[in-house]
Structure 1
Amino acid sequence: MKSQFWSRIAYACGTFGHDFFYAMIGTYFMIFVTSNLFHSEDPTHDAYMIGIVTTIILVLRIGELFIDPFIGNTIDKTKTRWGKFKPWVIAGAFVAAITLAVLFTDMGGLTMSNPMAYLVAFAIIYLIMDVFYSAKDVAIWSMIPALSFDSHEREITATFARIGSVFGGQLVTILVMPIVLYFSANQNGGAGDPTGWFAFAAIGGGIATLGAIILGIGTKEQDSALRENKQETTFSEVFSILIKNDQLLWVACAYLVFGLGQNLINNLNLYYFIYVLGDASKFSFLGVINVIIGLLAVALFPTLTQKFSRRKLFFASISIMLVAVILYALAGTNVAMTLFAAGLFALPQPLIFLVVLMTITDTVEYGQLKLGHRDEALCLCVRPLVDKLAGAITSGIIGIVAIWVGMTAGATADTITPENLTHFKYVMFIAPFVFIVLGAILYRAKVTLTEREHARIVLELEEKWEEMNQ
């Protein structure tokens, strides 16, 4: 039991660093691009370059959707003395950290001296970063079904993991502006300068790599006969396996639509503090609030699912988020109400993540029974794949919106016109509200894999395995 506890702690350290890194990619990199990367004396040229970079990110991430299942399939085939997952976690963290630090620079002034060379270099380095990050992302979350077959035990393990990831992801919110502004020579209206953003990227990459190393040292996969595939899934069968696992696909579709709404608000939060409230320093308070309520929500997850079931918890969480969106939209420049509404919106997010993660984890056995294949990493790669697709789409939207409403380099709260502020609020509040509602409707209509159904599936698998080996 003691070794199991320390294994969970090590796993949580890995997810802590992983979500710290994810927030840097998914939220703060686009803020760096729109506020600091391009700062010539020609606003039209800067807007054009921001648009090109945004398009490159969107195209690469959508293209990578076809790569991720093969990454998962490759991980499933990996056999080393350290297991199938840990080598990918550590190598992915190291390469992704180095490449992201490079992306948080103008690459030696190429943005000004040779914009075309910069764009080519950016596309190549971003692709390398994203592929290695994806390998780590798939591997780190695919470990859960390798640690236990019991749904409740998986929930406990996932709770430890999510506590680490919530703490890591929200600690970024607390640290980002203090780090950026501390290392910046030019405050730039509260948005910092390129030196400050590079320091932030280097520190964050180091934290993510250290967490991956701790995970590698402190965890061990469970050996079980059920984890042995009767046959190996070939590359040509990858998409066929995913398409035939209908519950996996429906969970993914519902989570994608929901994620578009969630990501839009999360990624526009700092813009709201800089360009609406006019005080980016208050953003750190939101990070503190989110750490506290996020850890509390995650710690209660096993108890809540035992008492109410995952399905009821999912819809209760959705309801809270919708109320929060309405309050946030009415907050205006009231800092206290803004912090309350943004914190309330963040409160259920870890719970929804865990419900989706546990349901996708249970589709491993669902697919094994239905198709005769056990594909842990292949199934679990769908969750990060959906996150990245939602992130890519919202990053594209944010890049366009930042240009549209004038929230780019040199802008301040005083320069944003009332008309542009209205446009910004439409994107930040109305569109997410619609997406979240649609995601909930889709989940309710199509996702039927409950804890009770999963327990029945595991029992049937065990009975079949015993019959085969008699």
Structure 2
Amino acid sequence: GSTIGANIVGVVIMPIVLFFSLNRNGGAGDNRGWFWFAFIVALLGVLTVLAVAFGTHEIESDLRKNTEKTGFKDVLKVLTKNDQLMAIALSYVLYTTGISILNASELYYFTYILGHAAQFSILGTINTIVGLLSVSLFPQLAGKLNRRNLFFACIAVMLCGIGLFSVAGTSLALVLIAAELFFIPQPLVFLVVLMIITDCVEYGQWKLGHRDEALTLSVRPLLDKFGGAISNLVIGAAAVAAGMTTGATADSITKAGAISFKLHVFALPFVLIVLSSLVFFFRVKLTEEKHAEIVEELERTWGHEFIDDKVETDGGLSISAPISGELLALSQVADPVFASEGLGKGFAIKPSDGCVYAPFDAMVRQVFTTRHAVGLVSEDGIVLLIHIGIGTVKLKGTGFVSYVVEGQHVKKGDKLIEFWDPVIQKAGLDDTVIVTVTNSHVFNDFVIKPTPGTSLQAGDTVLTLK
């Protein structure tokens, strides 16, 4: 969506400007054409903002009713203590500033160096098509190269594009090749950074002891806005220094003016992108493997904040099977931590389908980003972890769909998660669904009625507690 949105402007900008211009001005249009282009952009901006504001509906949640206020000092504390968030933020702000400068300069290049502003639509069209292809290749490339290697491969291609662009002169073919070498990696780098920033949510939770999802995910758009603002400053200064002002044409730009412009829009981005790569290389250490380790550790400590909560009941409590399949004793599970009841007593099920349902009325207290586990707290105080498979954190959510969010109330039988078992089996992983009561120590009686090997249907009573 962002790829189409960003590049469609390049396709339509000059046709719209020239359509409304009274004077074509060597293909650059006049003030009247630019006014109507700006008016159309502003109108679409207002309409789409209103559509989002009135068309988006929040999910009601007790967690979102928290009245605790977050002050500016709290924001800085989260940012400064999450060292990986700071590292990727510094790397990205250098990168996005660099690419914003060069991207914003391309229309000037077509207008005042090539002398054919209308040809800018060709570049916009190619970018839109190539950008979609680039995005579609991300899963395969990230899987083969890993995100870190993909980042550096993209940077290498971009730097080659800048080098070719700086010597392309007035050759449209060379300009288009250089611009594509510079553009093709951009959607891939964007996704690499987005994934790492998203992983910083769990990293921060692991390091600081609390989740700061909204704050963490707001960093990337903030940096994009900052980079765009700096690029406007640089391009404005470069255009004035080169004489690319109202009434100027390609013929009126001097050789010195063209050199000054190129220094601003090629040399500066080159330096910024190189600096970004150095920061990434030396400071960004949050790999996919490290994130998987962190999520596993968070799973093993999940629910500890609830284990001392009071359990309110006058009689027995029951837990039903969250999924259909064959009942297994917890000791039969291949994971030694679960098998030794290190995460609480419970049971396991060898699934016969891929639908996980709520075993009782509860509040969803944690949905892991990899979607292979969910933490519930019942209205009576039972703290329950449902974990799908062993080692499935490595799948990074592939093959899993979550139907709930944190803070959501669910009724017994509501669908929580759906997974595609062939994905787990193809990865050579165990698909056993493990159910543990994190606060099982507060119960005197912990009785599993069916014997291991019994075939169950989702909703059948498995466990009673007193």
TM range (shorter): 0.5 to 0.7
**C-alpha distance in structure 1 between counterparts of 2:75 and 2:49, whole Å:** 27
Deviates more, 1:421-430 or 1:193-202: 193-202
| 2:134 corresponds to 1:297 | yes
Equivalent residue in structure 2 for 1:378, among 215, 219, 234: 215
CA contact (8 A) 1:226 1:465 kept: no
Q: Aligned-pair distance for 1:220?
A: 7.4
- What residue is the counterpart of 1:96 in the other structure? none
| 2:193 corresponds to 1:356 | yes
Q: If you compute each CA radius of gyration, which structure gives the higher value, 1 or 2?
A: 2
- What residue is the counterpart of 2:91 in the other structure? 254
- What residue is the counterpart of 1:324 in the other structure? 161
Q: Which has the higher helix share?
A: 1
Q: Aligned-pair distance for 1:206?
A: 4.2
Q: Which has the higher strand share?
A: 2
One-letter code of the match for 1:278? G
TM-score (norm. length: structure 2): 0.61
Deviates more, 1:351-360 or 1:373-382: 373-382
Q: Aligned-pair distance for 1:256?
A: 1.6
- What residue is the counterpart of 1:73 in the other structure? none
Q: Aligned-pair distance for 1:420?
A: 1.1
Q: Aligned-pair distance for 1:225?
A: 10
Equivalent residue in structure 2 for 1:198, among 17, 35, 44: 35
In the TM superposition, 1:20-35 aligns within 5 A as none
CA contact (8 A) 2:235 2:265 kept: no
- What residue is the counterpart of 1:456 in the other structure? 293
- What residue is the counterpart of 2:263 in the other structure? 426
**C-alpha distance in structure 1 between counterparts of 2:148 and 2:54, whole Å:** 35
Equivalent residue in structure 2 for 1:395, among 215, 232, 243: 232
One-letter code of the match for 1:339? L
Q: Aligned-pair distance for 1:234?
A: 3.6
One-letter code of the match for 2:238? V
**C-alpha distance in structure 2 between counterparts of 1:459 and 1:229, whole Å:** 27
Equivalent residue in structure 2 for 1:415, among 247, 252, 255: 252
Q: Aligned-pair distance for 1:458?
A: 2.1
Task: Using CA pairs under 8 Å that are at least 6 residues apart, name the structure with larger relative contact order, 1 or 2.
Answer: 1
In the TM superposition, 1:59-208 aligns within 5 A as 164-208=1-45
Residues 310 and 285 (structure 1 numbering): CA distance in 2 closer, same or farther, change over 3 Å?
same
Q: Aligned-pair distance for 1:200?
A: 2.0
Q: Aligned-pair distance for 1:224?
A: 9.7
SS at match of 1:409: coil
What fraction of aligned residue pairs are identical, expressed as a percent? Answer: 52
One-letter code of the match for 2:26? G
**C-alpha distance in structure 1 between counterparts of 2:7 and 2:16, whole Å:** 14
Residues 234 and 463 (structure 1 numbering): CA distance in 2 closer, same or farther, change over 3 Å?
farther
Mark the runs of 5 or more structure 1 residues left unpaired by the alignment: 1-163
**C-alpha distance in structure 1 between counterparts of 2:91 and 2:61, whole Å:** 32
Q: Aligned-pair distance for 1:217?
A: 8.1
SS at match of 1:333: coil
One-letter code of the match for 2:245? T
Equivalent residue in structure 2 for 1:279, among 93, 116, 119: 116
**C-alpha distance in structure 1 between counterparts of 2:175 and 2:11, whole Å:** 16
| 2:436 corresponds to 1:436 | no
Q: Aligned-pair distance for 1:459?
A: 2.4
Residues 180 and 279 (structure 1 numbering): CA distance in 2 closer, same or farther, change over 3 Å?
same
Residues 206 and 259 (structure 1 numbering): CA distance in 2 closer, same or farther, change over 3 Å?
same
Q: Aligned-pair distance for 1:281?
A: 0.7
Residues 394 and 352 (structure 1 numbering): CA distance in 2 closer, same or farther, change over 3 Å?
same
**C-alpha distance in structure 2 between counterparts of 1:353 and 1:254, whole Å:** 12
**C-alpha distance in structure 1 between counterparts of 2:113 and 2:220, whole Å:** 33
SS at match of 1:373: coil
Aligned length: 307
Residue by residue over 1:350-375, the C-alpha shift from the partner in whole angstroms, topping out at 9 and shown as x without a partner, is 11111111111111111122112322
Q: Aligned-pair distance for 1:192?
A: 2.0
**C-alpha distance in structure 2 between counterparts of 1:209 and 1:437, whole Å:** 37
One-letter code of the match for 1:190? G
SS at match of 2:141: helix
Mark the runs of 5 or more structure 2 residues left unpaired by the alignment: 307-438, 440-466
Q: Aligned-pair distance for 1:437?
A: 1.2
**C-alpha distance in structure 1 between counterparts of 2:73 and 2:90, whole Å:** 23
Q: Aligned-pair distance for 1:417?
A: 0.7
- What residue is the counterpart of 1:338 in the other structure? 175
CA contact (8 A) 1:229 1:374 kept: no
Residues 202 and 190 (structure 1 numbering): CA distance in 2 closer, same or farther, change over 3 Å?
same
